[in-house]
Every structure is written in structure tokens, then in C-alpha cells.
Amino acid sequence: MSHASYELKAEARERVGKGSSRELRRNGFIPAVIYGDKQAPISIALNTNEVTKRIHAGGFMTTVATIDVNGEKISVLPKDYQLDPVRDFTMHVDFLRVSADSQVTVEVPVHFINEDKSSIKTGAVLNIVRHEVELHCPANDIPEFITVDLAGHKIGDSLHISHVKLPAGVTPVITDRDFTIATIVAPAGGTTEEEETTAE
């Protein structure tokens, strides 16, 4: 279940550089680049408000978008963006050109369910080791999040990537070990059990 795809209109940029980027931003646009798929990178200008709205809506980095550059429609996945630290608007975006069969690497957020059916209900603490997991995914089928089911887990349990049912075609980037996503630990000041040493 991923966010619906969306389209952004863009203009190809002839002039590239500090001065022209500043001028763009003054006019409500931001510079962006589309690269990848063994083609030359394209410099474009996008509407700042539209992009900032998309980033705030969530799922920005895991949703494939279509960018219409002067009539040519290009499928892309955002790879990186910079926000102005003071005014919280987008400064620049890097997009990766993707096709239906592209494999992409994406950080996907982890959601935890059934806390009330685990020891957490009686005061144990969920210690999250990874809030997101880096996954190889088909570009047109990126999960919006992955789910870890806590039902039946007790203090001292570790939840590994093997506890997660990953969608077809999605694999973790780390493959040499069953890495830990979270552990269930005793409440602070409660009975501390021997910390489980995770075998690397």
C-alpha cells in the first residue's frame, strides 16, 4: 500500500549556477536534477510550494512520481532533498530516473503493531534499534512501511528482520545477518535481565 503517484510540472533549465538558483527561488521555483538510467542528467525547475507540500504529506521518498518536463513525462523517485533549515522550504531535490523494472534502494519506515498483546502492555519497553530499514525494491512497488508484529513477545525478546513479512521482490540490503529491528526490555529501574548479546 503506497501513496498514490503524482505528477509535477517542470521546466528544463538552461542556466545552471548559484546566481540562477537564487533567482529561481525568488520566483517560487527550486532547482532539481533528474539523473540515472544511463542517461545524461537533466536540470529542471519545480514549483517550490508543490514540492514542499508533497514532502510534508509523507511518503515522499518512497513514491514514484511523474515529472512533465516540457511535455516529456519521466518517471522518477526522489533520492535526496535539502530543506532550508530556517524557513523550512525545499532548496533542491535530486530525482532518480526509474522504469517499471528498475530496482531501487530505499529507506522504508518500520511500523509496530499489537503492542497491547505483548509484555509492553504490562510495562516492558520497546527499544527500537532501527526506525527504518534499507530495502532493495522494484521501483513501481515500494512498500510505504514494513510491519513488525509484537504479539506474544516478552522481555528479552529481539525482533529481527526475519520476523517481517516483506512484499514480493523486496529484500533487505543487509543480507549477511538476521539484523535486529527492536528489542523488548525491562522498564528502567525494574528487574534488568541480562542484555541479550546479538550474535553478529
What digits encode the pLDDT tens for the residues 11-27?
998 777 777 888 898 99
Residues 64, 85 contacting (CB under 8 angstroms) = no
Any idea where the domains of the chain sit in the sequence?
6-99, 104-185
Residue bearing cell 525568488: 26
Q: What percent of the chain has pLDDT over 90?
A: 62
Quote the pLDDT of residue 127: 96
Quote the pLDDT of residue 196: 43
Enter the pTM of the model: 0.73
CATH top-level class of 6-99: mainly beta
- The helix (run of H) or strand (run of E) holding residue 113 is strand 103-113
Neighbours of 159 (CB within 10 A): 23
Comparing CA positions, the residue from 73, 74, 164, 62 lying closest to residue 104 is 62
Look at 90 and 148; give whichever has higher pLDDT: 148
Each residue's pLDDT tens digit, 49-82: 999 899 888 889 889 999 999 899 999 999 999 8
Q: How far apart are CA 114 and CA 143, in angstroms?
A: 20
Fold of 104-185: RNA Polymerase Alpha Subunit; Chain A, domain 2 (2.170.120)
